[in-house]
């Protein structure tokens, strides 16, 4: 009797749990395999060919990659992406966390401030780029206003200086994206148990130590997710550059995504564009694989 009862209440095997949801996800899985995975393999294969206007399977080995890494324009784009990426990562996290920490103090008009900080993220990158192109224009932007106020020697025209043009693009990117980072951090802070704050106050732990040694370690999943979001935005940097500088002055603000677009659609050199795309794919893999391991591998092991 007990044996039959145990059989009747036995859980279904893992394969048949949530069967309806698994069946419903089949089209999405097939789309991912055919479109995304298939497109990725297709891009990698044709990066070893000398395809020009149209794809053709005439393999040339690593010639496209050798040409890519010997091109000054590509090296400049990699250098710009590295500088932009490091600074964007640091400033986005620091500014976003500080704003979230201030809003977490239950200040008045919190909703208003949260809306103001998040509003730029609702704008397209093109609108943001054009707006900051006007703001940083020396003829009627910040430089013009300061000089009109009496400081005649003041100079601030990053978009027209080859040495610092990438920092002008960084300013626009931080203005647009920091609000989203703030919201993610604020959600993480609101998830911290109130008893932890009370215990820290009872023990006399300074506020900054509470954040640094207690709160931030507890927000590890939020930080990992935020890092991936920021890093993916760094690799995809294109719209802001086109809207603000179009890669100028003198090619000083080139980035990999623009290099790919220009070679594939303007220079009609698909092989070179595919090689650059494959390098970008590799950079994305370097970001996603550690994240997947930390999020899923470590959790499974725990």
Token match 């893992």: residue? 14
| pLDDT above 80: residue 142 | yes
Decide which of 3.40.50.2300, 1.10.3720.10, 3.30.70.2740, 3.30.750.24 is the CATH code for 68-297: 1.10.3720.10
Which is nearest to 211 in space by CA: 196, 230, 221? 196
Compute the distance between CA of residue 268 and CA of residue 12 in angstroms, rounded to an integer: 56
CA dist 93 → 75, 186, 207 (Å): 27, 12, 19
What is the average pLDDT score of the chain? 88
Name the band, by pLDDT with cuts 50, 70 and 90, for residue 9.
low
Q: State the pLDDT at residue 25.
A: 85
- CA torsion through residues 260, 262, 268, 269, sign: negative
Q: What is the pTM of this model?
A: 0.85
Q: State the pLDDT at residue 170.
A: 96
Compute the distance between CA of residue 157 and CA of residue 246 in angstroms, rounded to an integer: 16
Residues 265-290, mean pLDDT to the nearest whole number = 89
Q: State the pLDDT at residue 1.
A: 47
Q: State the pLDDT at residue 10.
A: 58
Q: Please say whether the beta carbons of 100 and 108 come within 8 A.
A: no
Q: Please say whether the beta carbons of 160 and 138 come within 8 A.
A: yes
Q: State the pLDDT at residue 63.
A: 95
Compute the distance between CA of residue 301 and CA of residue 283 in angstroms, rounded to an integer: 26
Q: Where are the domains of the chain?
A: 68-297
| pLDDT above 50: residue 206 | yes
b/e string for 254-287 if b means 16 or more Cβ within 10 A? bbbbbbbbbbbeeeebbbbbbbbbbbbeebeeeb
Cis peptide before 249 (omega within 30 of 0): yes
Compute the distance between CA of residue 43 and CA of residue 21 in angstroms, rounded to an integer: 32
Q: 145-185 pLDDT, tens per residue?
A: 999 999 989 999 999 999 999 999 999 999 999 999 999 99
Q: 10-48 pLDDT, tens per residue?
A: 565 666 677 777 788 888 888 888 888 888 899 999 999
Residues 237-259, mean pLDDT to the nearest whole number = 94
């Amino acid at each position: 009797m007990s044996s039959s009862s145990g059989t009747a209440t036995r859980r279904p095997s893992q394969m048949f749990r949530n069967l309806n949801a698994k069946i419903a996800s089949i089209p999405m899985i097939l789309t991912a395999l055919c479109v995304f995975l298939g497109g990725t393999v297709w891009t990698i294969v044709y990066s070893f060919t000398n395809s020009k206007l149209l794809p053709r399977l005439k393999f040339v080995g690593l010639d496209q990659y050798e040409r890519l890494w010997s091109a000054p324009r590509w090296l400049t784009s990699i250098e710009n992406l590295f500088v932009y990426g490091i600074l964007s990562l640091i400033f986005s996290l620091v500014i976003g966390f500080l704003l979230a920490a201030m809003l977490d103090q239950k200040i008045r008009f919190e909703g208003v401030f949260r809306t103001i900080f998040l509003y730029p993220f609702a704008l397209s990158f093109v609108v943001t780029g054009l707006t900051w192109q006007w703001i940083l224009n020396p003829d009627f932007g910040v430089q013009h206003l300061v000089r009109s106020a009496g400081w005649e020697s003041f100079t601030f025209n990053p978009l027209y200086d080859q040495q610092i043009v990438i920092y002008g693009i960084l300013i626009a990117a931080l203005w647009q994206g920091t609000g989203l980072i703030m919201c993610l951090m604020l959600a993480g802070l609101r998830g911290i148990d109130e008893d932890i704050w009370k215990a820290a106050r009872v023990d006399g732990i300074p506020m900054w130590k509470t954040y640094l040694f207690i709160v931030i370690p507890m927000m590890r999943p939020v930080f990992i997710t935020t890092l991936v979001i920021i890093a993916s935005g760094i690799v995809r940097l294109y719209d802001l550059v086109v809207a603000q500088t179009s890669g100028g002055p003198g090619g000083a603000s080139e980035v990999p995504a623009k290099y790919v677009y220009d070679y594939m659609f303007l220079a009609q050199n698909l092989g070179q564009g595919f090689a650059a795309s494959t390098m970008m794919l590799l950079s994305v893999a370097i970001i996603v694989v550690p994240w997947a391991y930390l999020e899923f591998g470590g959790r499974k092991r725990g």
